[in-house]
Chains A and B, each alone.
Chain A
């Protein structure tokens, strides 16, 4: 590839161009004409994936604010996978609910562009712009079913709280700039390495505000309030997209800011994140047990998974940092597949997302029931799925750094969470279908996407070494 200042933004450019192309295609689409707009997205994402592979190990940087180090590229690859699976699941869902296809794909692609920018940003202000690009697209996606009251309500709640958290984040950036004189993460890090907290009480404010901003985005307790409502109200496929993509991007940025620039102060923020991680794991799991709506249950499960990721952040040793990356990939594939199943089982007039809607799924959709079971077991962390490997590395990192308390809380909550994942499995295989309307068939494209996801779950669960090595190689570049 050519060597220029633009190298590091090539993946970003591919996705952005695909988004612009799908927007133009939608603009010139005649009435009732069908266009392969989703295909444009797949081409763009594939281009981004190829450029990621070519950029690997080259550690390029564009204008100093976007860096394509291995850490960013690993997360970018995860986001590309999220995007590809989302587009494949969406085709059927869009037809069913008569959603605006062009706008949907454009927004998904713009959201992914924002996420990629977030994962590779090396400047707090660029990070903020990326956060907004991603968030604005996702707010609209949440409310894309305009005839559905719950969808609109979810979008409104998400928008208000999201805008609020953005303000916190921006304020944190302002304080960081005020103390350190720069928004570049590398310069902030260099400056902070020679400082102590006692000299700069303002840093405490900056650190706290940034932490609040990130905690909102990864829905960590006590900033998780919007999550269940937004996740339940949004169309299932959008929920899948935002619970994996947004979380992966936000966590990548979180890790980059706190483990590189603010690393010198880890003794100051680690105890706070410790408490947040513990509270997030416990609340997500305990409240999840009481849910009867599948989407809401998975929303709480997503909160709990955010807690496990925070454990890796607190542990902050080499194993922990690699474990965060691996867990992000594992969680993205698994959770998206689970939401894909829910999305494709939705009917035009009813969402079919209550637990009892899944009674006897085994009889009408044997393959789908089996695939869903694999996803749920992986979310619960049962071998030989990828969820087990991910949790294993996270908790062993915590033990390695001496955080026995967190590891114990993590393992206990995992055990409790298996209860509500298994409840769905029991419903699918052991309950009788009592008069509920039949569930729709699932199309070929959706089944292919599911098969890919399930293959990934087992492959990463049984032979994780290759990807784990990649994750370990990724973190060596920045931390």
Chain B
């Protein structure tokens, strides 16, 4: 436990310093609240509307698809580092993995999820009827 004493002192000093500073400014600082000061800080602009509004479902779809293909890339790095050790079997495995994800990509593409902006007639014709 001896070696950790310094860390404990450091944590104590950090919390104490922050507490003293915030406490002092609370006690000694002048208080002159105005509506502008109490409003949430948003880059210096006046806040417009509520933050909780409805977003297009497209954002969620894109976020989800991004996540999937991002993880695909995350697999790529360790494979690239171990490329020489894994050899051809490793190459075949990663290609198989990519092919499976490619099928998903083709599906997403054909279903029109990647079409951003006004819906073209071609895409609309392929969408399943709103179920």
- Could you say which residues of chain B place their CB within 8 Å of the CB of A99? 131
Docked CA distance A65–B32 (Å): 67
A residues 1-43 touching B (CB-CB < 8 Å): 16, 20, 23-24, 26-28, 30-31
**Given A31-B125, A31-B126, do A23 and B131 touch, yes or no (CB 8 Å)?**
no
**Given A98-B131, A145-B131, do A23 and B126 touch, yes or no (CB 8 Å)?**
no
Q: Which residue of B lies closest to A5 (CB)?
A: B89
| Interface majority SS (helix, strand, loop, mixed), chain A | loop
Query: B129 and A98: CB pair below 8 A?
Result: yes
Q: Does A434 contact B (CB under 8 A)?
A: no
Query: A20 and B129: CB pair below 8 A?
Result: no
- Could you say which residues of chain A place their CB within 8 Å of the CB of B103? 20, 23-24
Q: Does B128 contact A (CB under 8 A)?
A: yes
Docked CA distance A16–B97 (Å): 12
Q: Which residue of A lies closest to B129 (CB)?
A: A98
Q: Which residue of A lies closest to B125 (CB)?
A: A31
Q: Does A146 contact B (CB under 8 A)?
A: yes
A residues 386-434 touching B (CB-CB < 8 Å): none
Query: B131 and A27: CB pair below 8 A?
Result: no
**Given A20-B100, A20-B103, do A27 and B110 touch, yes or no (CB 8 Å)?**
yes
The tally of residues in A whose CB lies under 8 Å from a CB in B reads 15
Query: B125 and A147: CB pair below 8 A?
Result: no
- Could you say which residues of chain A place their CB within 8 Å of the CB of B128? 100
B residues 97-114 touching A (CB-CB < 8 Å): 100, 103-104, 106-107, 109-111
Q: Which residue of B lies closest to A16 (CB)?
A: B100
**Given A20-B100, A23-B104, do A28 and B131 touch, yes or no (CB 8 Å)?**
no
Could you say which of B107, B125, B129 contacts A27, with CB atoms under 8 Å apart?
B107
- Could you say which residues of chain B place their CB within 8 Å of the CB of A145? 131
Query: A23 and B107: CB pair below 8 A?
Result: yes
- Could you say which residues of chain B place their CB within 8 Å of the CB of A23? 103-104, 107
- Could you say which residues of chain B place their CB within 8 Å of the CB of A16? 100
- Could you say which residues of chain A place their CB within 8 Å of the CB of B131? 98-100, 145-147
* Chain B 72-107 per-residue mask, 1 if CB under 8 angstroms from chain A, else 0: 000000000000000000000000000010011011
- Of the listed residues A24, A30, A99, the one surrounded by the most CB atoms of chain B closer than 10 A to its CB is A24
B37 to chain A, nearest CB (A): 40
- Of the listed residues B100, B104, B106, B131, the one surrounded by the most CB atoms of chain A closer than 10 A to its CB is B131
Docked CA distance A247–B129 (Å): 33
- Could you say which residues of chain A place their CB within 8 Å of the CB of B107? 23-24, 26-27
Query: A28 and B125: CB pair below 8 A?
Result: no
- Could you say which residues of chain A place their CB within 8 Å of the CB of B110? 27-28
A443 to chain B, nearest CB (A): 21
- Could you say which residues of chain A place their CB within 8 Å of the CB of B100? 16, 20
Docked CA distance A98–B129 (Å): 8
- Could you say which residues of chain B place their CB within 8 Å of the CB of A28? 110
B68 to chain A, nearest CB (A): 12
- Could you say which residues of chain B place their CB within 8 Å of the CB of A24? 103, 106-107
B126 to chain A, nearest CB (A): 6
Interface residues of A (CB under 8 A from B): 16, 20, 23-24, 26-28, 30-31, 98-100, 145-147
Interface residues of B (CB under 8 A from A): 100, 103-104, 106-107, 109-111, 125-126, 128-129, 131
Q: 8 nearest interchain CB pairs?
A: A27-B110, A27-B107, A31-B125, A20-B103, A100-B128, A146-B131, A23-B107, A27-B106
Known: A16-B100, A27-B106, A31-B125. 20 other contacts (CB 8 A): A20-B100, A20-B103, A23-B103, A23-B104, A23-B107, A24-B103, A24-B106, A26-B107, A27-B107, A27-B109, A27-B110, A27-B111, A28-B110, A30-B126, A31-B126, A98-B129, A99-B131, A100-B128, A100-B131, A145-B131
